[in-house]
Structure 1
Amino acid sequence: MRVNRISHARGRTAALGLAVAALAAGLTTGAGPATAQPQSAAAAAPDCSAAFRIEQKLASGTTWRMCWRYDSMAGLVLDDITYQPKGEPAPIKVLNSARLGQIHVPYDDGRAEYDDLTGQDFAKDLMNLAPAECPGGTIKTVKIPDPYPDQNPNVKGLCTTTRSRGHAYRMQGDTANKVYQAQGKDFLVYTVNQVGWYEYMTEFRFQDDGTINMNVGATGTLSPFDYDAGDGKGWPIGKGAAKDKATSHTHNVFWRLDFALDGSTKNRVEQYDSTLTPRGADTPTVKTTRTKVTKELAGDAKTYRWWRMVSATGKNKDNHARSYEFVPGPTTRYPGRSYTKHDIYFTQYDKCELFSSNNPRCDRDHPKSVDKWVNGQTLTHPVAWVNVGFHHIARDEDQQPMPVHWQGFSIVPRDVTAMNPLTPADLAGQNGNYTGGS
């Protein structure tokens, strides 16, 4: 029999009737976060047989290739991700793996805090997807590695599909009647996992211009057992001003990215900072400086700062080093824990360091959170950890069901190709200062 926690939005929806009956009888169900996780075996090597291989060619000519697997805690993991735009003779390796690194959920009243990947049954509770949830795509069957005793381990839970995103570009030509424009296409790979009353959509979105968007969308319902607002600051939900106040909380989502640009893990991390200097009546000047990040780093985002991961071996046709730039989405940095106080971490690869907090896959003496792994090691095989927070203060519109709220970031190609990979044939020769004759 499964143990269901009904406090703080963590009861399973399927057990609502039983939970209500138990409450009426004066009983309690559920348990808090485990204080000691069992040691888990290291993740298996990616299986890239036909059943686990994904390949999608988009209308623009761009092809994305990857392998997929399903981890017993992290859920969906994508391995060996390559990008091949038209005009490139071979696939360009981007990532060894991309996966969630944790979903950390502290409540504002200080009474509860959860690590949904390693402290809850995130991976076990993969949801079956209906065809309407994967329009025009394919739903693959996922075998749950460690199912519940009463659970069918085979879940139709992985969607791959394509979707339009609007303009990829638009440019007025030299003549008034010539307009260059294209509508962009994305390739989506996603799953839905239930944790308590929440349902998390783990989405990887691969654009035809080489951008990869990584998002988590939270939906489902507000917990019917969580209207006490013990912090005294919850938002009124339902009729009246004081009866029901949903407790506010934060979703701190981490992603773990193991890069292998051009097939090599010997990538370089660079940080760019720009400084603005006023010049009296003249236009202010901006100077940008580059810092090579050679040691492990806990990075803080700020205005005019960004990072990129640079290939150590590959260059584009203009002889510029290929790289991917980190582009963060909106975030609320949670200051309550040491590992959520920074926006990005670069750590030296360690096969057991897989979850940013409550990490169970290292030995007993190994630090359990990503901030403790930043200890001065030289980066020869950098792994990136991206932290995006969302402070959820409930509102009337969150019931019922709760609209999806998204949080995430992108990695964007910087000099991966010599020109826009979607450039139309008429403009293919306009590389660099073409008006000067080059």
Structure 2
Amino acid sequence: MPVNRLSRARNRTALGLAVAALTAGLTTGAGPATAQPKAAQPRAAAAAAADCSAAYRIEQKLATGTTWRMCWRYDGMAGLILDDISYQPKGEAKPIKVLESGRLGQIHVPYDNGRQEFHDLTDEGFAQGLMPLASAECPGGTIKTVKVPDPQAGRSTKVKGLCTTTRARGHAYRMQADTGNKVYQTQGKDLLVYAVNQVGWYEYMTEWRFQDDGTINMNVGATGTLSPWDYDAGDGQGMPIGKGPKARATSHSHNVLWRLDFALDGSTKNRIEQYDSTVTPRGNRPPTTKTTPTKITKETAGDAKSYRWWRVVSATGKNKDGHARSYEFVPGPSTRFPARGYTKHDVYFTQYNKCELFASNNPKCAAGHPRFVDKWVNGQTLTHPVAWVNVGFHHIARDEDQQPMPVHWQGFSVVPRDVTAMNPLTPADLAGQNGDYIRGS
């Protein structure tokens, strides 16, 4: 993210001219150490109407027998939104709904020098920066045409910018048979859905991976190039990436927040549970571990730590073993940004409110309504919980970030827990081994 953002007409395409101007000692406006004028701010765009005609439908049966179904739409601020997401592994008579909606909730970018702070989705034209994709970027897949709303011009632009394809991920499992030399193994497959949005000098790759075992991975990868307006900004921040001590690039954070509205088994009346485990040493004897579940009945903010996890549990559906279906949150590596309430915690669970769509600088609610997700955590009873997941990355530039900059990923997963009675990829030979298959279930 640049400290000084250029208008879209002058960002990446003007790189050569901008660098030449800097080299010659020229400045544009106030110079590289002072913020350039921002591009005109997009007005709050009206939410796109739900449309699941063939053009907006994604349905993929993977080689292992699992089918994922969903609808997609494109919002004037949030960018790509996926709705009505369902999962149907082999052996299940009908699809199992997982999410009512999944979307980015904000990309918050504060700079270490304290001079700049950006909210890319709501304030910096993230959605309008959808990039066209070449066929080589979507191998074996389909690139869909997206209508990108431009609130300033009052029209839409068509961009071939949404890739849907499949990718191998390696072993889904491997198990040596109890007798003989037979090995049970299979190679997993994912449905990949992704788009790329440019904001200033950065390009964000918003990626959804739907695994054949029911896992959903959500990641944002930042790539593109470091902004030359950051170099030697006179703030003493960051690391030099030029010859000797030159071209010190200002350090900054990328705090990515996702908004997930679950609808397990078709109902949004889900419940949230937190699990904590306590390990007790016992001298030379083996230690004991006790796990305690807590029902989260009111809005809350939580922090990940060792031996803690959360799950969202279906209020209506059970698997064939009679266990309530649920999805567990599995966080990825994260550096929480402690200076803002909306990035201070790893998760926020709020009661559904149709206007609460962005974790910071939310423009969708009426005047007087709080604009930040941490302010929405105010003790309401959770009957329709919405999960906000925060994953932070502190970017301290390195020589290898130029040029172009390698992708750095940040994200998390939601993993099925008791959605099916057995591994959904279980081979036919082992289908009868549910529970204690030696002594009987």
Q: TM-score range by the shorter chain?
A: over 0.9
> Is 1:31 aligned to residue 32 of structure 2?
no
Identify the residue that residue 373 of structure 1 maps to in structure 2: 376
How much has 1:49 moved relative to structure 2? 0.7
> Is 1:7 aligned to residue 11 of structure 2?
no
Identify the residue that residue 60 of structure 1 maps to in structure 2: 64
Q: Which residue identity lines up with residue 116 of structure 2 in the other structure?
A: A
> Is 1:206 aligned to residue 210 of structure 2?
yes
Q: Any unmatched runs of 5+ in structure 2?
A: 31-35
> Is 1:94 aligned to residue 106 of structure 2?
no
Q: Secondary structure at the match of 1:145?
A: strand
Q: 2:48·2:74 contact (CA, 8 Å) conserved in 1?
A: no
Q: 1:116·1:122 contact (CA, 8 Å) conserved in 2?
A: yes
| C-alpha distance in 1 between matches for 2:208 and 2:15 | 31
Q: 1:163·1:187 contact (CA, 8 Å) conserved in 2?
A: yes
> Is 1:275 aligned to residue 278 of structure 2?
yes
Q: 1:46·1:69 contact (CA, 8 Å) conserved in 2?
A: yes
| C-alpha distance in 2 between matches for 1:287 and 1:435 | 27
Out of 221, 239, 263, the residue aligned to residue 225 of structure 2 is 221
| C-alpha distance in 1 between matches for 2:412 and 2:13 | 32
Q: Secondary structure at the match of 2:51?
A: coil
Identify the residue that residue 166 of structure 1 maps to in structure 2: 170
Identify the residue that residue 407 of structure 1 maps to in structure 2: 410
Q: Secondary structure at the match of 2:129?
A: coil
Q: Which residue identity lines up with residue 428 of structure 1 in the other structure?
A: A
Identify the residue that residue 89 of structure 2 maps to in structure 1: 85
Identify the residue that residue 124 of structure 1 maps to in structure 2: 128
How much has 1:9 moved relative to structure 2? 8.3
Identity of aligned residues (%): 77
Shifted more, 49-58 versus 13-22: the winner is: 13-22
How much has 1:6 moved relative to structure 2? 7.3
- Provide, for residues 158-198 of structure 1, a one-character-per-residue CA deviation record: whole Å limited to 9, x for no partner: 00000000000000001241100000000000000000000
Identify the residue that residue 194 of structure 1 maps to in structure 2: 198
Q: Which residue identity lines up with residue 251 of structure 1 in the other structure?
A: H
Q: 1:9·1:225 contact (CA, 8 Å) conserved in 2?
A: no
Q: Which residue identity lines up with residue 394 of structure 1 in the other structure?
A: A
In the superposition, relative to structure 1, how do residues 9 and 214 fare at CA in structure 2: closer, same or farther (>3 Å)? Answer: farther
TM-score by length of structure 1 reads 0.94
Q: Which residue identity lines up with residue 434 of structure 2 in the other structure?
A: N
Identify the residue that residue 74 of structure 1 maps to in structure 2: 78
- Provide, for residues 205-249 of structure 1, a one-character-per-residue CA deviation record: whole Å limited to 9, x for no partner: 000000000000000001111112544131110211x22111110
Q: Secondary structure at the match of 2:132?
A: coil
Q: Which residue identity lines up with residue 55 of structure 1 in the other structure?
A: E
Out of 413, 418, 422, the residue aligned to residue 421 of structure 2 is 418
How much has 1:20 moved relative to structure 2? 5.6
Identify the residue that residue 284 of structure 1 maps to in structure 2: 287
Identify the residue that residue 254 of structure 1 maps to in structure 2: 257
Q: Which residue identity lines up with residue 273 of structure 1 in the other structure?
A: D
| C-alpha distance in 1 between matches for 2:380 and 2:109 | 30
In the superposition, relative to structure 1, how do residues 269 and 279 fare at CA in structure 2: closer, same or farther (>3 Å)? Answer: same
Q: Secondary structure at the match of 2:13?
A: helix
- Provide, for residues 45-94 of structure 1, a one-character-per-residue CA deviation record: whole Å limited to 9, x for no partner: 31001110100000011000000000000000000000000000000000
Identify the residue that residue 158 of structure 2 maps to in structure 1: 154
Out of 342, 359, 364, the residue aligned to residue 362 of structure 2 is 359
| C-alpha distance in 1 between matches for 2:80 and 2:229 | 30
- Provide, for residues 338-396 of structure 1, a one-character-per-residue CA deviation record: whole Å limited to 9, x for no partner: 11100000000000100000111111201010000000000000000000000000000
- Provide, for residues 287-314 of structure 1, a one-character-per-residue CA deviation record: whole Å limited to 9, x for no partner: 0000000000111111100000000000
Identify the residue that residue 301 of structure 1 maps to in structure 2: 304
Q: Which residue identity lines up with residue 246 of structure 2 in the other structure?
A: K
- Provide, for residues 9-29 of structure 1, a one-character-per-residue CA deviation record: whole Å limited to 9, x for no partner: 886212335656877664328
Q: Secondary structure at the match of 2:230?
A: coil
Q: Which residue identity lines up with residue 70 of structure 1 in the other structure?
A: Y
Q: Which residue identity lines up with residue 417 of structure 2 in the other structure?
A: R
| C-alpha distance in 1 between matches for 2:112 and 2:234 | 8
For residues 336-355 of structure 1, the aligned pairs below 5 Å read 336-355=339-358
Shifted more, 326-335 versus 14-23: the winner is: 14-23
Number of residue pairs the alignment of both structures matches? 432
Q: 2:172·2:188 contact (CA, 8 Å) conserved in 1?
A: yes
In the superposition, relative to structure 1, how do residues 266 and 33 fare at CA in structure 2: closer, same or farther (>3 Å)? Answer: farther
Q: 2:42·2:152 contact (CA, 8 Å) conserved in 1?
A: no
For residues 44-59 of structure 1, the aligned pairs below 5 Å read 44-59=48-63
How much has 1:147 moved relative to structure 2? 6.3
Q: Any unmatched runs of 5+ in structure 1?
A: none
Q: Secondary structure at the match of 1:48?
A: coil
Shifted more, 336-345 versus 211-220: the winner is: 336-345
In the superposition, relative to structure 1, how do residues 322 and 150 fare at CA in structure 2: closer, same or farther (>3 Å)? Answer: closer
How much has 1:283 moved relative to structure 2? 0.7
Out of 107, 116, 137, the residue aligned to residue 103 of structure 1 is 107
How much has 1:151 moved relative to structure 2? 9.3
| C-alpha distance in 2 between matches for 1:193 and 1:37 | 15
Q: 2:44·2:77 contact (CA, 8 Å) conserved in 1?
A: no
In the superposition, relative to structure 1, how do residues 251 and 120 fare at CA in structure 2: closer, same or farther (>3 Å)? Answer: same
- Provide, for residues 135-165 of structure 1, a one-character-per-residue CA deviation record: whole Å limited to 9, x for no partner: 0000000001226659970100000000000
- Provide, for residues 274-296 of structure 1, a one-character-per-residue CA deviation record: whole Å limited to 9, x for no partner: 00111111111000000000000
| C-alpha distance in 2 between matches for 1:40 and 1:128 | 21
Q: 2:150·2:156 contact (CA, 8 Å) conserved in 1?
A: no
Q: Which residue identity lines up with residue 401 of structure 1 in the other structure?
A: P
